[in-house]
């Protein structure tokens, strides 16, 4: 149950809103002026303020500023008469969470109330998480320094990492770009008894076929035109440590054959050499490609796949572990604020909302870049929507708020349709003909869809 402070000089409005608040199992407090409201705010534990813009002495905007000065984590929703939406937009610039046009519609109020309270609990959680994060980071420093995430999905990853760390068998790390494959490869190494030996990385996609081969296995003097002296390869340099083969899915067929042989026989020769060297390194490979599909299209050898895939670790995309987003944000703010020498105190609720609603196709790398950029751009000690890239800023509106589950297309399209219809009905105050025109569909189609989504029972005015 949340405590909600409702401010309006018209008693009929505060009563009506209070009634809806109570009906939603929250506790309403009412005030008729900004002064009265502020006094109440200071003495009670208020979770959300809903205030009219036009009040007798001080305005709703004054109240908004006072409230935010004391506690910026309490969202404020402003109410404004129809036709004066510009005032509300100004209020948003001052940090209002959202606005309602009067007369207030019950559905709209309920939706916005819910969102504001969700937002508040997210912000409070985020604050707790920052503290908890500091503590956990101390505790797991040895094991998983710098790997952030407490979701169930990540817990499973940590537990796998711990279990495979001691073994010698190859590990295959799978996951979309930016999900932390390299970080996990490193964690496996530091958690193993090889941690005092080298961790050697090679990016298989970056090197041409012939160079990759000599980089991996080394070459003898005179092996090819430019081989002026003998050069050890990465297998040799890694010794009894760990060799991380990044982007293994991109490796050329001829090198695949050679790699398979090393994995099978634990032996190799330098390019142009005859001496047989033994392979002692532990192999960790990673890719963001679908290797089974690569096998099907004959681009990747099945036998090599089985050799590499003795244990595999699948890293979840960020959109599957949304609860880690706030803690990652906190982590990257701390990291880049100190790196860039800026003091960043907070993130505006609206900006946090955008970041949480976005689906992060580039995963953690994209989130990290976004935060770094925002810290560079921000002109004050708070990150705001305007500091985010435009396509992420757009995640602030009603039509795009929930994150999208890309695999379920039908459900996705329905969710999207539902939101657009809801939005059109709100904007036309429930006028079906106007909403249909806005959506560019037939009136009868809209009626049908409203029935399907159970919107007929709502009053949108």
Ligand X SMILES: Nc1ncnc2c1ncn2[C@@H]1O[C@H](COP(=O)(O)OP(=O)(O)OP(=O)(O)O)[C@@H](O)[C@H]1O
Interacting residues with ligand X (CB under 6 A): 146-149, 175, 177-183, 288, 364-365, 368
CB of 404 to ligand X, least distance (A): 21
- When asked if residue 176 is in the footprint of Mg ion (CB under 5 A), the reply is no
182 vs 414, beta carbon nearer Mg ion: 182
Q: How far is the CB of 154 from ligand X (least distance, A)?
A: 7
Residue with Cβ nearer ligand X (67 or 148): 148
| 366 lies in the site for Mg ion, by CB under 5 A | no
Instruction: With residue 203 as reference, give the H or E element that holds it.
Output: strand 199-203
CB-count burial class (<10 Å; 0-12, 13-18, 19+) for 225: exposed
- Given the rule CB under 5 A, which of 104-112, 167-175, 180-188, 221-229 is the region that contacts Mg ion? 180-188
Number of H helices, E strands in the chain: 20, 16
Please, what is the minimum distance in Å from the beta carbon of residue 102 to Mg ion? 53
Comparing CB distances to ligand X, the nearer of 116 and 147 is 147
Structure tokens at 195: 């941690």
From CA 215, how far away is CA 210, in angstroms rounded?
A: 9
Secondary structure (3-state) at 171: strand
CB atoms near residue 313 (< 10 Å)? 20
- Sorted by sequence, the CB contacts under 8 Å of residue 73 that are 6+ apart come out as 120, 123, 124, 127, 349
Q: Please state the closest distance from residue 183 (CB atom) to ligand X, in A.
A: 4
Task: Name the phi and psi angles at 127, rounded to 5.
Answer: -65, -45
CB nearer to Mg ion: give 206 or 456: 206
Which residue's beta carbon is nearest to the bound ligand X?
180
Beginning with the edge strand found earlier in the chain, give each strand of the sheet holding 98-102 in spatial order.
27-31, 3-7, 48-52, 76-81, 98-102
The CB-of-147 to ligand X minimum distance in angstroms stands at: 4
Say which entry of Mg ion, ligand X, none residue 175 contacts (CB below 5 to 8 A, set by partner kind).
Answer: ligand X
- Cα–Cα distance for residue pair 98/394, rounded to 1 Å: 15
Q: Which is nearer to Mg ion, 181 or 270 (CB)?
A: 181
Residue 82 and residue 451: Cα distance in Å, rounded? 28
Which of 185/385 has CB closer to ligand X? 185
How many other CB atoms are found less than 10 A from the CB of residue 93?
10
Residue 149 binds which of Mg ion, ligand X, none (CB < 5-8 A, kind-dependent): ligand X
Q: Which does 307 bind (CB under 5 to 8 A by kind): Mg ion, ligand X, none?
A: none
* Strand, coil or helix: 99: strand
What one-character-per-residue DSSP string does 43-85 give? HS--SEEEEES--SSS-HHHHHHHHHHH-TTS-EEEEEETT-H
Q: Which of 182, 269, 366, 417 binds Mg ion (CB under 5 A)?
A: 182
417 binds Mg ion (CB under 5 A): no
Q: Rounded to the nearest whole angstrom, what is the least distance from the CB of residue 182 to ligand X in the complex? A: 3
Please identify, using beta-carbon distances, which residue of 22 and 177 lies nearer to ligand X. 177
- Closest residue to Mg ion, Cβ-based? 182
Residues that bind Mg ion (CB under 5 A): 182
């Amino acid at each position: 149950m949340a405590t909600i402070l409702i401010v309006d000089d018209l008693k009929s409005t505060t009563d009506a809103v209070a009634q809806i608040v109570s009906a939603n199992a929250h506790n309403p407090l009412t005030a008729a002026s900004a002064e009265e409201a502020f006094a109440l705010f200071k003495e009670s534990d208020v979770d959300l303020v809903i205030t009219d813009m036009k009040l007798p002495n001080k305005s709703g905007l004054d109240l908004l500023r006072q409230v935010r000065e004391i506690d910026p984590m309490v969202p404020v929703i402003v109410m404004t008469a129809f036709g004066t939406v510009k005032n509300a937009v100004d209020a948003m610039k001052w940090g209002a969470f959202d606005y309602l046009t009067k007369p207030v519609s019950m559905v709209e109020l309920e939706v916005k109330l819910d969102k504001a309270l969700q937002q508040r609990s997210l912000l409070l959680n985020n604050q707790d998480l920052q503290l908890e994060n500091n503590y956990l980071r101390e505790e797991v420093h040895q094991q998983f320094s710098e790997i952030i995430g407490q979701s169930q999905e990540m817990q499973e990853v940590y537990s796998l990492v711990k279990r495979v760390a001691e073994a010698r068998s190859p590990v295959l790390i799978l996951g979309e770009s930016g999900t932390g494959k390299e970080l996990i490869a490193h964690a496996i190494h530091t958690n193993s008894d090889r941690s005092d030996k080298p961790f050697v990385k090679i990016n298989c996609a970056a090197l041409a076929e012939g160079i990759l081969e000599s980089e991996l296995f080394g070459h003898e003097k005179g092996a090819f035109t430019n081989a002026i002296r003998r050069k050890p390869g990465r297998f040799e340099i890694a010794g009894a440590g760990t060799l991380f083969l990044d982007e293994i899915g991109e490796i050329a067929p001829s090198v695949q054959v050679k790699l398979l042989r090393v994995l099978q026989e634990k032996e190799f020769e330098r390019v142009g050499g005859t001496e047989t060297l033994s392979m002692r390194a532990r192999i960790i490979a990673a890719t963001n490609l679908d290797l089974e599909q690569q096998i099907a299209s004959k681009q990747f050898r099945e036998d090599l796949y089985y050799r590499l895939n003795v244990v595999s670790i699948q890293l979840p995309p960020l959109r599957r572990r949304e609860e880690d987003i706030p803690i990652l944000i906190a982590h990257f703010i701390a990291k880049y604020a100190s790196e860039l020498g800026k003091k960043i105190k907070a993130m505006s609720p609206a900006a946090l909302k955008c970041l949480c609603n976005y689906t992060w196709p580039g995963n953690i790398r994209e989130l990290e870049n976004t935060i770094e950029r925002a810290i560079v751009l921000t002109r004050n000690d708070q990150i705001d929507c305007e500091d985010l890239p435009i396509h992420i800023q757009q995640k602030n509106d009603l039509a795009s708020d929930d994150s999208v589950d890309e695999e379920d297309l039908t459900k996705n399209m329905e969710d999207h349709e539902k939101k657009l219809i809801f939005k059109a009905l709100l904007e036309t105050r429930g006028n079906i003909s106007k909403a249909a025109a806005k959506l560019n569909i037939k009136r009868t189609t809209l009626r049908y869809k409203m029935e399907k989504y159970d919107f007929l029972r709502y009053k949108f005015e």
